[in-house]
Amino acid sequence: MNAPFHPETVTLDALKLGTKARVLSIDWQELEEAEACRLRHFGFDEGIAVEPLHSGPFGRDPIAIRVGRMTVAIRRKHAATIRVLPSAA
Amino acid sequence: MNPLPLIAVAGSPNAGKSALFNALTGARQKVGNYPGVTVERKSGRLVLSDGRPAELVDLPGAYSLEPASPDEAVTRDVLVGRQKGERQPDALLIVLDASNLDNHLRFALQLIELGLPTMVALNMVDLARRDGLELDPKALERELGVPVIETVAVRRRGVQELQAALDDMLSAPFCGVHEHVKSDLIHLQRRAREIATAAVLSETPVRRWTHRLDAVLLHPILGPIILAAIMFVMFQAVFAWSQVPVNWIADGVAWLSGAASNAIPAGIIRSMVVNGAIAGVGAVITFLPQILILFFFILLLEGTGYMVRAAFLMDKLMHGAGLSGRAFIPLLSSFACAVPGIMATRTIDNEKDRLATILVAPLMTCSARLPVYTLIIAAFIPNRTFAPGIGLQGMVMFGLYIVGIAGALLAAFAIRRGVLKGASGGFMMELPKYQLPSVKDIVIGLLTRTRIFLKRAGTIILGTTIILWALASIPQAAPGQKQSDVSIAGHIASGIETVVRPIGFNHDISLALLPAMAAREVAVSAIATVYSLDAGDDAASNKSLLKELRHGWPLPTALAFLAWFVFAPQCISTIAVTRRETNGWKWPLFMVGYLFLLAYIAAGLTYWTAVVLGL
């Protein structure tokens, strides 16, 4: 979206499990209103630290993500709307 | 007289709100629905320290006053005094998860802005400590400007202090709420993080328990294996452990019916009490032990935090059929009985996902079908074995289960593209921390559900069974006539017969279909009754019943009868609970309609295939 382009950014669904990252932008238009609302309630926002922890056994979907002090599960297609910058290891 | 002061309990999901509510009110809880929506209203009595009673209402868990689900809309409407069927609360108790303050405080800030007399229960401080987090409730109190009490609701800690603080709060004068103005979420979130940071005394990084457990329980290979093992134990329990109490209840019902037969002179009244009320309600409450064991497991899995993990593991598969991972447990429960299964769909927050789950739940082979399957299989399927332990009869039984599951998935698929078209609700859930639930919370949950179930059995089911009895007994047959021919039910059966004859059903089956509406297994006793009543002897033993069936029914008819019972919605309790859970007759009627249609088609296909194959 309008976030500055970083070559090393990925969408959250493509981030390796256990890799900490920072949210750069969220494509809110791609989400339904209730879904966008729920993501915000979970604390997803620009600048927030996230870390994918687990993924489902079938098709690695959904993904469990640590956001703040919570762990939340979302589907891959929703995670794909979230662009993150992985922290340098 | 002034109504009791009303205290609303609000908080985010997984803050331990219900445990705190249980700790404050005890087992005497009233559970109902808010008018017009399927959102549960749970309230209870609280005695303040000066002896005054107050009413406590447990609001649905919400993350914010900007609702993302019907539950959250109710929470907001109650708090601003706009919810039908609820008065404006006099005070507000906010429950916060101590280890998740930066998120939960955002909602708390919104709630405090409403201006109600408010206090905060800083809950689950033990779990926060387990995670190495030390909090300062005084700092929190300063920042929020309302009293803060530390609690561990599942262990009943801090409850007395909380009660005392509620006293003080209700004694203070209060002058009306502010209208909720749409808050600036970003600003609130930032403020919440500031306060959370200010309230943290120290944080020692520790390996979190929950994370370690999840590494195993959500493992891509181990996770599903453990889930399957848990489900296996659960089903063993539902079917094996329940045998003893089921026999007690069956004996009790038999004793009661004997006692009633002795106490009431022969005639229409005795027949109504014994053959109508006691037999009908007895048949349904025999399922109570199974339902209780099932609910025990559901409450345990919910209380520990595992339930959400099960949904997580199964989401992808359920998604393929247009359902959400959350539908997994309700559908699984429906193998024991669709009634608790449908009641368990409340955890599905997307309305369409939930409705679709309710509509297909009766397709899961419930335990009430087993007596019917067992009888027909024993009578018609040869007891041939292919390999040690693998017999034809068992294979047919297994096949019936598979047809039910496949039918449910296909029906869900069709329903989600037809009557309930629309994007599925997705799957966005918080994975709560694991914890040991308290015995008291589980007992309260069981009591509440038992009460709901027995109330059903006592009202709708009692009424229906008496009507069914009346249809079968009026008018009384003259000597030389068959009761099954002269009764109203007999005439209705003749009507049914013209409809079901094309799918191979005979008069006996038509007669059994009507009473089997009370509960499927009643079909067995109904068929037995038809043969024994007509033969004039009292107890047709199972053996002679098998003989009668083999003699009277051609094989295609028997197979069609099995196929019918895979689909037919022959269960008043299921229809009643669907009405309750969907708040109207539209969906139960739709369910009954589509299931009968499927049953008719399936039975017809089976019958004619069997006839063509010359079976």
d(CA B116, CA B113): 8
Task: Using an 8 Å CB-CB cutoff, list residues of chain B that contact chain A.
Answer: 63-64, 66-69, 99-103, 185-186, 189, 210-211, 214-215, 218, 220-221, 223-224, 308, 312-313, 315-317, 319, 325, 423, 425-431
Whether A73 sits inside 8 A of B431 (CB atoms) is: yes
What are the tens digits of pLDDT across the range B567-579? 999 888 899 889 9
Beta bridge partners of B315: none
Q: Which of B155-169, B284-298, B442-456, B468-482 has the lowest mean pLDDT?
A: B468-482
Number of C-beta neighbours around residue B246 at 10 A: 18
DSSP 3-state of B86: coil
pLDDT in the model for residue A5: 57
Whether A35 sits inside 8 A of B99 (CB atoms) is: no
Alpha carbon of B297: minimum distance to chain A alpha carbons (Å):
23
How confident is the model over B587-615, as a mean pLDDT?
94
Asked if residues B588 and B579 have their Cβ atoms less than 8 Å apart, the reply is yes
What band does B207 get if pLDDT is binned at 50, 70 and 90? low
What are the tens digits of pLDDT across the range B71-127? 888 999 999 888 888 888 989 999 999 988 988 999 999 999 888 899 999 999 988
Mean of the per-residue pLDDT values of chain B: 85
- Chain A residue at shortest CA distance from B423: A32
Beta bridge partners of B536: none
Phi, psi of B554 (to 5 degrees): -70, 155
Compare CB distances from A72 to B69, B223, B430 and report the shortest one's residue: B430
Pairing mode, strands A63-67 and B40-47: unpaired
Q: Which of A65-69, B48-52, B439-443, B609-613 has the lowest mean pLDDT?
A: B48-52
Checking if the pLDDT of B21 tops 70, the result is yes
Alpha carbon of B431: minimum distance to chain A alpha carbons (Å):
5
Beta bridge partners of B148: B120
Pairing mode, strands B29-33 and B40-47: antiparallel
What are the tens digits of pLDDT across the range B353-410? 899 999 999 999 888 888 888 889 888 988 888 777 778 888 888 889 889 999 999 9
What band does B176 get if pLDDT is binned at 50, 70 and 90? low
Long-range contacts of range B192-197, CB-CB < 8 Å, 24 or more positions apart?
B192/B101, B192/B102, B192/B103, B192/B104, B192/B105, B192/B106, B192/B108, B192/B109, B193/B102, B195/B101, B195/B105, B195/B109, B195/B140, B195/B143, B195/B144, B196/B101, B196/B102, B196/B105, B197/B102
Which of B431, B433, B434 is most worth mutating to test chain A (most A CB atoms within 10 A of its CB)? B431
DSSP 3-state of A49: strand
d(CA B536, CA B538): 6
Whether B63 sits inside 8 A of A38 (CB atoms) is: yes
Share of chain B above pLDDT 70, in %: 93
pLDDT in the model for residue B424: 65
pLDDT in the model for residue A7: 63
Whether B215 sits inside 8 A of A54 (CB atoms) is: yes
Checking if the pLDDT of B468 tops 70, the result is yes
The pLDDT tens digits along chain A (89 residues) read 455 556 688 999 999 999 999 999 999 998 888 788 889 889 898 888 999 999 999 999 899 999 988 899 999 999 999 999 998 65
Task: Read off the tokens for B454.
Answer: 């027995």
Most trustworthy range by pLDDT among B173-187, B190-204, B271-285: B190-204
d(CA B105, CA B140): 10
Whether A54 sits inside 8 A of B189 (CB atoms) is: no
Residues of chain A found within 8 Å of residue B102, distances taken between Cβ atoms: 43, 68-69
Residues of chain B found within 8 Å of residue A42, distances taken between Cβ atoms: 63, 103, 428, 430
Task: Read off the tokens for B342.
Answer: 């449908």
